Amino acid sequence: MKSLNKLSYPYIVWMTILVVLPMILILVLSFTNIDIFNIGSFNFTFDSFEYLKRPEVIEASKNSIRLSFFTTVICLFIGYPVAYYFANTKSKNKQLYIALIIVPVWSNMLLRIIAWEKLFYPNSILNMFGISFDLIGTDTAILIGMVSMYLPFMILPIYSVLDKMDKSLIEASRDLGANTLNTFLRVVLPLSLSGVLSGVLMTLLPSMTAFALPERLSGGKTLLIGNIIEDYFMKTGNINAGSLISIILMFVITFLFIGLLRFDKEGDTLL
Amino acid sequence: MKNNILKVFTGLAYSIIYFPILVIGLLSFNKSVKGYSFTGFTFNWYVEIFRDDRLLEAITNTLLIAFLSTIIATIIGTFTAIGINNLSKSSKFKMMIINNLPIINPDIVTGISLMLVLSLLPISFGMNTMLLAHIFFSIPFVILTVLPKLKRLDKNLYDAALDLGCTRLQAIYKVIIPAIKSSIIAGALIAFTMSIDDFVISYFTTGNGFQNVSLWIYSRLGRRSFNPAVYSYNTLIVFITITGLIVFNKVNNKRSLKEIK
């Protein structure tokens, strides 16, 4: 069976070209004044670092951290009980309930963002029910939008861990005299930690780097770091500064990832 | 009592996830083009899907890319996973780190990376580059879904197949693949889901006016050419998926009832 390992070799080449090569490219772009569309002579320079001090970049970083943090906390607060309910329900429609959490992902995300956007303007379809919101540009609008998009990604990993957990452990804990709260805190929660970690990563990372959602739900007022990168690459042509921000973002996320994995003793978060 | 609290949370989760989808459904039957108020009931937008050539093209492109990238990524991913499963422990670990990089990387960084690499190659941006990008981001998910099942598979199955006269290729598609069929299907479903909804990576890797539904929407936001027929398209997709699920669930429940009897 050992000979089958050759089947993985083409993938190494593929990933080198499409993952490792662009990373080197982004790194080179960050520290030079190279023009990607017209590669000629170039110098090493730290010019791109000047961009990091710009108020819009600092503001966007703060926004990204704040909004992704609150999104993750809210998703965990709502998502954990839901996952717990799914894992313990005896309903024969259990599989259907869980599938219904995934279905919305098939519905176009941009359209779902637009649906929220339309509701958050004072003049909306909700007026016929006598309701009117004026939320565009507020953190509330972005948080509602983000929770609505990313909640399924919190529920599913927690559910899959809770569902596999041996239910007799709970009975054992009760028999040994622990009350409901203690059983939860000292038995259920520690055992479901790997699911919580995957869930946190799967909501934190996309909400931190979203760019269409904040653009629509803030009316262009609240920029996240994703908006800055998109702006530098596609609109203002500051590809070198955009590369530097991307590489920093990649480092931050890799460290977050490694940091969270350390909590996972079983080692089955994503790996 | 405790169960009721859990039910309230579950209800809350369904509401916040489904609310925008219901609004899209409502807008798909709304006579008003702008969608600021409900001016009357109409089926017109469902007919309009087939009249708006650009939208229809975007829908065809989305489905074409989704099917092609799913099929190709599932095949490559499955074979690669079989290969990875037979690597030594340390090279397996290194492989999985590279494999997981695109998964943890933000979409926007993946999109930019691909754009940079592809711009160095002598190919023009368009359907080819977008298809390549979709295959690229789907493969890691297929590998991640298939690998755990392979790990649990009896190592001797493959050798037994060879001893019994199978060629190597036969041993793979007659023995290994049937044994991991369910996780291959799960992997393909994830790949399809990722592709059909992708916006960010498509945004950076397309060109020559090639659009999927997400790009069609993004380029028309707030413009007059935004056709509410796209609400109808979305509502149809959700309706078909949910109906399919409910039917599947009924059939499954009946089957398990019979087995008990």
Over residues B9-53, the pLDDT tens digits come to: 999 999 999 999 998 888 888 877 777 777 778 888 888 888 888
- Please report the number of interchain residue pairs, chain A to chain B, with beta-carbon separation below 8 angstroms: 243
Tell me whether residues B104 and A206 touch, CB distance under 8 A.
no
Mean pLDDT, to the nearest integer, of B82-89?
84
Please write down the HEC assignment for all residues of A179-228.
Answer: CHHHHHHHHHHHHCHHHHHHHHHHHHHHHHHCCHHHHHHCCCCCCCHHHH
Predicted confidence (pLDDT) per residue in B170-185, tens digit: 888 888 888 888 888 8
Out of A150-159, A258-267, B141-150, B195-204, which region has the weakest mean confidence (pLDDT)?
A: A258-267
Residues of B in contact with A107 (CB under 8 A): 21, 24, 197, 234, 237-238
Q: Is B221 on the interface with A (CB under 8 A)?
A: yes
Yes or no, beta carbons of B80 and A123 under 8 Å apart:
no
Neighbour-count burial of A163, counting CB atoms closer than 10 A to its CB (0-12 exposed, 13-18 middle, 19+ buried): middle
Mean pLDDT of A234-261: 84
Q: Kindly report the average pLDDT of chain A as a whole number.
A: 83
Q: Are B115 and B204 in contact (CB under 8 A)?
A: yes
Q: Calculate mean pLDDT across residues B211-230.
A: 85
pLDDT at A270: 46
Average pLDDT over residues A116-125: 82
| Contact criterion met (CB < 8 Å) for B108 and A246 | yes
Provide ipTM, 2 decimals: 0.84
Beta bridge partners of B41: B30
Interface of B with A in 27-56 (CB under 8 A): 27, 30, 35-38
- pLDDT one-digit tens code per residue, A129-183: 777 777 787 888 899 999 999 999 999 889 988 888 887 887 888 788 778 778 8
- Asked if A26's CB is within 8 angstroms of B6's CB, the reply is no
pLDDT computed for residue A2 by the predictor? 62
A171 burial level (CB within 10 Å; 0-12, 13-18, 19+): exposed
Q: Which top CATH class is A63-262?
A: mainly alpha
According to CATH, the superfamily of the domain at B55-248 is: MetI-like (1.10.3720.10)
Q: Give residue A1's pLDDT band: very low, low, confident or very high (50, 70, 90).
A: low
* Structure-token pair, residue B124: 């023009």
Ranges for all domains in chain A classified under CATH 1.10.3720.10: 63-262
Q: Cβ contacts (< 8 Å) between B102 and chain A: which residues?
A: 19
> Would you say A148 and A116 are in contact if contact means Cβ atoms under 8 Å apart?
yes
pLDDT of residue B126: 85
Judged by CB atoms closer than 8 Å, whether chains meet at A22 and B7 is answered as no
Instruction: Find the Cα–Cα–Cα–Cα dihedral B235, A125, A75, B113, rounded to 10°.
Output: 60
Q: Tell me the average pLDDT across A224-250.
A: 86
Mean pLDDT of chain B: 86
CA B160 to chain A, closest CA, distance in angstroms equals 10
Contact state of B20 with A147 under an 8 Å Cβ cutoff: no
- B231 half-sphere exposure, CB direction, 13 A CA radius: 26
Whether the CB-CB separation of A125 and B37 falls below 8 Å is answered with yes
Q: B13 vs A246: CB contact, 8 Å cut-off? A: no
Distance from CA of B127 to the nearest CA of A (A): 18
A2, A3, A6, A7: best to mutate for the B interface, most B CBs within 10 A = A7
Q: Domain segments of chain B: what residues?
A: 55-248
CB A261 within 8 A of CB A197: yes
